[in-house]
Structure 1
Amino acid sequence: MNRKTLAVTSPYDGSPVGEIPCTSSDEIRAALDRADALFRNRGAWLPADERVAILRKAAELLDQRRDDVIATAIREGGKPYRDSVVEIDRAIDGLRNCAELVRSEGGHVVPMGTTPASRGRVAFTQREPIGPVLALSAFNHPVNLIVHQVGPAIAAGCPVLVKPSRDTPLSCRNVVRALHDAGLPQDWCQLLIPSSHDDIDALVRDSRIRFLSFIGSAEVGWGLHARMAPGMRCALEHGGIAPVLIDRDADLDLAAGAVAKGGFYHAGQVCVSVQQVFVHEAVGEDFLARLQAAAARLKTGDPLDRDTDVGPLIKQAEADRVAAWIDEAREQGARLVQGGRRLAPTLIEPAILLDAPPQAQVSCREVFGPVVSVQRYADLDDACRRANVGGFAFQAGVFTNSLDTATRAYAALNASAVMINDHSAFRVDWMPFAGLNRSGLGVGGIPHTYREMTIEKMMVLRG
């Protein structure tokens, strides 16, 4: 029987990057059978010291293969060189972070003897793996997202089935190979490249999967959530329309540079990219001029060119959509003050829109493209109210030199994290990372994912 393969191409110019074998429906069912058998055989669970050694060794191997891993990630995902370097360095550190968790994240003592009924007892908890994990990943951080999903599962002792984006499967294979080469038995981490969405639906409906980790669009994520088997836990990481507020006393050079980076990094294809900017009317023109200048300095082009700041969107269809949304906003009264030109089938020059109406797509839906919309405000409370519209809630930013303004905005914004004097896309891999409302469910970040992939099992010892 001829095995199907998935051809991987560059989003920049369509050139071939490589091929990877697809996984048949029978092979996917067999993979779950093996993962379930591993978990049920508690005597064969990987000891903690082996998990630590494997994760540390995998980090070393990824570091040794760093140049090849970076090149693959750029060619199949389109993120520019300098940002891909940062991503792979984060992924290497993330595997080390996962190893540290095995030693630092234990259970806790449950107080006893505080009532007559609890006298003479000692109680404590220890962490155990929750069970087989299904990790469904996205294209925009093709190495680091895999580490965020697979690394904590290995640290927790969970067998994991990982399905990367069909656009960036080779980067996922690089991470899985590093784990296997570091000594992880093959069946503890199995790479799936299904040919049909039905195969993933079957896994999501199967009660043997104990935890679903999904990174991707809200439409797909909530659809999977509705079909999950009873008792399955999950973490859903979607996106939002990340707002940034710039008050009249802000450092405008700092704000403009940060908004340009946070809005146009990876062509805006980041779930917490700056999308909506609300600037105080007293400094609106000054800020806009500085933002225009910062955006104009960005070089859009070949992601392998080390001078490139903004690379391609992942598909031509996505570039078509983003271009259509820009046109729609202009037809509805927005002013295009910078960029927005279509430079190639997947390349759009970073665009700045002024005064897009609230009903425009760029105002009420996640753009996931290199577009920043600027609005002016007179009153901080009104700006926060406008920023909270839409049902999305993830990360936000506030630029101000006033502690009062910072604390007021922090309290008023509907967000899981508010960055003061930084853009909304700031992240380190050990901090909590949580989409609220339509933006997701559960808490990401390596230590938090590790905890969600474990249970605290209690022993009560009666003397």
Structure 2
Amino acid sequence: MSEITLDVVNPFTLKRIGTVGLCSDSEIDAMLGVAHDLYRNRKSWLPAFRRIEILKTTAQLMTARHEELALLIASEGGKPLVDARVEVTRAIDGVELCVHEIGQMTGKEIPMELTAAGSGRIAFTQREPIGVVVAASAFNHPLNLIVHQVAPAVAAGCPVLVKPALDTPLSCRAFVDILRQAGLPKDWCRFAACQNNVAEKMITDPRVGFFSFIGSAKVGWMLRSKLAPGTRCALEHGGAAPVIVDDSAGIDAMIPLLTKGGFYHSGQVCVSVQRVFAPAKIAAEVAQKLADAASGLRVGDATDANVDCGPLIRPAEVDRVEQWVDEAVQSGASVLTGGKPLGQTTYAPTVLLNPPQDARVSTAEIFGPVVCVYGYDDIETAYQAANSLPYAFQASVFTKTLDVAMQAIQHLDATAVMVNDHTAFRVDWMPFAGRRQSGYNTGGIGYTIHDMTQDKMAVIKI
């Protein structure tokens, strides 16, 4: 490992909590060479039963270290400990889901005698690993995102190099270490923390078979444009998730869901509740009740089990959110709660009523603890506003009317529409994807494993 090291800090206290070594160009090149050789030498491939054993043991080791991993997530990523514990449980479930999915990596018989040309032949397909996987991840779920990218590669039989977000590399390193402790040979999964210029060379190398990216749209689309010919990819970006509230919705019942969906991890989630569209006659009431709930959230150090909202990942993000909110307020938005930093590293949970449609809080992903509520006169205009951005990920509708629910499912431009739930709902076996600028291809563990494998057909002439 290179002598260049990176200090990892707690984003609330800004105190160092660990260090990681950063890989150089030559080290990454060597890792890619070894991984590519592993893939090209079919005798070295790990059989399915061995991958199953490794992943089962990995889940067991993670379970034994559950609280340690949760505290690591809270310490380096600023996710409240109560939510970090949930993330660890999800990550363990994800590894176990990979075990299940290995048994689903099946081919099928292809009928040959449909025409005279195919007569006298038997054909079938099998799934094979696609090649070397390079995964670049985001900070906001520093263990579970790594599991979603790396464990499917292991399940598929692909060598993998993983580049964590440099804000949160410790959870990734811990997971790679656990895989090795579980019996995965080290060359099959390499921890490849590195600076962005080195990462770009790694990602665009022609030896890469599949590139998995979770992060900003600007970076993801740029990297996709530079991939070597033949490299497949999946990109997961963000959005500005819309919620439609119908006249019939039960306001009191939906407020806790909107609060969780909007302020979970201080809004640093790609499908956080951001834009709530409610009938004009009740918009102020919805916004005020949401503000009352938000004002009761406790903000502080994520390692404190009583904290609801932790810090933003960097002080610069606090400054950015403050600028966006100030801009919206100066243009006419009403602040019902929050609207200010609470310190260098935290921003108060904030509810804005009727910010301008062209303000940045209305047109771009906030990725902070801010929810905007807008009044509408006609639900059709609410759909139009919800669909007006170049991003489309998950959306939701609150209603007691089946017709409205079905109409929203049909009209909202989203890959998933939640009915009477917040936009950030997810289980790890469901398809999870952004449309348009919000992403490319489909996440979810089974879908990722499928993308990391490819069909091979055998045609046997009798």
TM-score (norm 1): 0.98
Q: What's the CA shift for 1:340?
A: 2.1
Aligned to 1:41: 41
Question: Please, which runs of 5 or more residues in structure 1 have no aligned partner?
Answer: none
Q: Distance in 2 between matches of 1:199 and 1:288?
A: 46
Q: Secondary structure at the match of 1:104?
A: coil
Contact 2:291 2:350 in 1 (8 A): no
Q: Distance in 2 between matches of 1:285 and 1:274?
A: 17
Determine if the alignment matches structure 1 residue 181 to structure 2 residue 162: no
Identity of aligned residues (%): 50
Contact 1:163 1:193 in 2 (8 A): yes
Aligned to 2:401: 402
Q: What's the CA shift for 1:2?
A: 7.3
Q: Secondary structure at the match of 2:285?
A: helix
Q: Please list the CA deviations of residues 298-331 of structure 1 after superposition, one character each: whole Å capped at 9, or x if unmatched.
A: 1111111111111100000011000110000001
Q: What's the CA shift for 1:460?
A: 1.4
Q: Distance in 2 between matches of 1:425 and 1:307?
A: 22
Aligned to 1:455: 454
Contact 1:106 1:126 in 2 (8 A): yes
Contact 1:246 1:255 in 2 (8 A): no
Contact 1:380 1:409 in 2 (8 A): no
Q: Secondary structure at the match of 1:29?
A: helix
Contact 1:11 1:76 in 2 (8 A): yes
Aligned to 1:431: 430
Q: Please list the CA deviations of residues 383-442 of structure 1 after superposition, one character each: whole Å capped at 9, or x if unmatched.
A: 000001110000001000111101111111111110000011000011000111010101
Q: Secondary structure at the match of 2:20?
A: strand
Q: Distance in 2 between matches of 1:99 and 1:389?
A: 40
Contact 2:284 2:353 in 1 (8 A): no
Q: Secondary structure at the match of 1:271?
A: coil
Q: What's the CA shift for 1:290?
A: 1.9
Contact 2:161 2:191 in 1 (8 A): yes
Q: Please list the CA deviations of residues 43-95 of structure 1 after superposition, one character each: whole Å capped at 9, or x if unmatched.
A: 11000000011011001101111121111111000000110000000000100
Q: Secondary structure at the match of 2:404?
A: helix
Q: Distance in 1 between matches of 2:82 and 2:134?
A: 31
Aligned to 2:165: 165
Q: Please list the CA deviations of residues 225-245 of structure 1 after superposition, one character each: whole Å capped at 9, or x if unmatched.
A: 111111111000000000011
Aligned to 2:24: 24
Aligned to 1:5: 5
Aligned to 1:393: 392
Q: What's the CA shift for 1:283?
A: 2.5
Q: Please list the CA deviations of residues 94-129 of structure 1 after superposition, one character each: whole Å capped at 9, or x if unmatched.
A: 000011111123112212222222222221111100
Question: Please, which runs of 5 or more residues in structure 2 have no aligned partner?
Answer: none
Aligned to 1:148: 148
Letter in 2 for 1:371: V
Contact 2:2 2:21 in 1 (8 A): no
4+ runs deviating over 3 angstroms: none
Q: Distance in 2 between matches of 1:166 and 1:399?
A: 38
Q: What's the CA shift for 1:205?
A: 2.3
Aligned to 1:282: 281
Letter in 1 for 2:152: P
Q: Distance in 2 between matches of 1:309 and 1:2?
A: 38
Aligned to 2:305: 306
Q: Distance in 2 between matches of 1:343 and 1:137?
A: 29
Q: Distance in 2 between matches of 1:449 and 1:254?
A: 35
Aligned to 1:60: 60
Contact 2:239 2:392 in 1 (8 A): yes
* Counterparts of residues 68-107 of structure 1 (less than 5 Å): 68-107=68-107
Q: What's the CA shift for 1:378?
A: 1.8
Aligned to 1:297: 296
Contact 2:139 2:168 in 1 (8 A): yes
Letter in 2 for 1:41: N
Q: Distance in 1 between matches of 2:82 and 2:410?
A: 35
Letter in 2 for 1:234: C
Q: Secondary structure at the match of 2:102?
A: helix
Q: Distance in 1 between matches of 2:308 and 2:410?
A: 34
Q: What's the CA shift for 1:192?
A: 0.7
Aligned to 1:335: 334
Q: Secondary structure at the match of 1:91?
A: helix
Determine if the alignment matches structure 1 residue 322 to structure 2 residue 321: yes
Contact 1:248 1:282 in 2 (8 A): no
Q: Distance in 1 between matches of 2:148 and 2:424?
A: 17
Letter in 1 for 2:276: V
Q: Distance in 2 between matches of 1:284 and 1:221?
A: 36
Q: Please list the CA deviations of residues 270-305 of structure 1 after superposition, one character each: whole Å capped at 9, or x if unmatched.
A: 000011000112332332232122112211111111
Q: Distance in 1 between matches of 2:291 and 2:201?
A: 49
Aligned to 1:413: 412
Letter in 1 for 2:345: T
Aligned to 1:378: 377
Letter in 2 for 1:187: D
Q: CA RMSD in A?
A: 1.1
Contact 1:392 1:438 in 2 (8 A): yes
Q: Distance in 2 between matches of 1:165 and 1:253?
A: 38
Contact 2:287 2:351 in 1 (8 A): no
Q: Secondary structure at the match of 2:342?
A: strand
Q: What's the CA shift for 1:175?
A: 0.6
Q: Distance in 2 between matches of 1:391 and 1:5?
A: 38
Q: What's the CA shift for 1:26?
A: 1.1
Determine if the alignment matches structure 1 residue 209 to structure 2 residue 208: yes
Q: Distance in 2 between matches of 1:198 and 1:448?
A: 29
Q: Distance in 1 between matches of 2:202 and 2:228?
A: 9
Q: Secondary structure at the match of 1:245?
A: strand
Q: Distance in 2 between matches of 1:47 and 1:426?
A: 35
Q: Distance in 1 between matches of 2:284 and 2:77?
A: 36
Q: What's the CA shift for 1:462?
A: 1.9
Q: Distance in 2 between matches of 1:451 and 1:152?
A: 9
Closer, same or farther: CA 119–33 of 1 in aligned 2, 3 Å: same
